[in-house]
Chain A
Amino acid sequence: GAVVSQHPSRVICKSGTSVKIECRSLDFQATTMFWYRQFPKQSLMLMATSNEGSKATYEQGVEKDKFLINHASLTLSTLTVTSAHPEDSSFYICSARPTLRDTQYFGPGTRLTVL
């Protein structure tokens, strides 16, 4: 149980394009999902908290207009990196928390490379 999927697992795009990443909780409902970014050999960095049916809460320094988050259902959150640039190249990981629980389960991550 507690499986989280992410799609795509890897994406390469040209600078200036937008990329959408999907995060799904497959066997539980998640009122809250989280989006993290991790650069090579660095620690996890929380980007935003995604709440079903409401606006996401962004961490300080994360541009909400650049990283669009939509959490339209209890099993799906999406992160769209708009007008991606090479500095946005990173490992993006989502996690989902089952409703009324405090444990987070992670998706396998999406490796984004912007050329």
Chain B
Amino acid sequence: QKEVEQNSGPLSVPEGAIASLNCTYSDRGSQSFFWYRQYSGKSPELIMSIYSNGDKEDGRFTAQLNKASQYVSLLIRDSQPSDSATYLCASYNAGNNRKLIWGLGTSLAVNP
């Protein structure tokens, strides 16, 4: 059973702090990894994709991938109350019927 696991939270951080969201996956054949943000009552929106070991930065967001440890993380710098949402991690293996394997999401609350 291919799985992606996330801590459900809630993760609570003060405004301006760094929020660290973590995700582990079981399928060693996974090639791509994605972070989506979902506000309550809305559909998910793509934040970051990462394919290679190491860090990938985009504005206040940094995705980190460690394939040896089967671990993906998302760092949000200078967290804002508007970052409060559920963050979904997903992995992709082209051999898996082209589906994304989803984590259940981590709820993040940024407190003013």
Chain A interface (Cβ < 8 Å from any Cβ of B): 32, 34, 43-44, 46, 49, 57, 91, 93, 97, 102-109
**Nearest CB in chain A to that of B107: its residue:** A41
Main secondary structure of the interface of A (DSSP, over half): strand
Contacts of B46 in A (CB 8 A): 103-106
Q: Which residue of A lies closest to B102 (CB)?
A: A44
Inter-subunit contact A46/B99 (CB<8 Å): yes
CB-CB under 8 A from A103, the residues of chain B are 32, 34, 46, 49
Q: Are A57 and B92 in contact (CB under 8 A)?
A: no
Q: Chain A residues near B49 (CB, 8 Å)? A: 103
Alpha-carbon distance A109/B104, docked complex (angstroms): 18
Measured between beta carbons, the chain A residues less than 8 angstroms from B60 are none
Segment 87-112 of B: residues with Cβ below 8 Å from A: 88, 92, 94, 97-100, 102, 104-105
Flag whether B43 is at the interface (Cβ < 8 A).
yes
- Range of interface residues on chain B? 20 to 34
Contact B98 A44 (CB under 8 A): no
CB distance from A82 to the nearest CB of B (A): 23
CB-defined contacts of A91 to chain B, threshold 8 Å: 41
With a cutoff of 8 Å between Cβ atoms, the chain B residues found around residue A32 in the complex are: 98
Q: B102 touching A49 by the CB < 8 A rule?
A: no
Contact B97 A43 (CB under 8 A): no
Question: B104 touching A93 by the CB < 8 A rule?
Answer: no
The docked-state distance in angstroms from the alpha carbon of A22 to that of B49 is 27
Contact check, A102 vs B92: say whether CB atoms are below 8 A apart.
yes
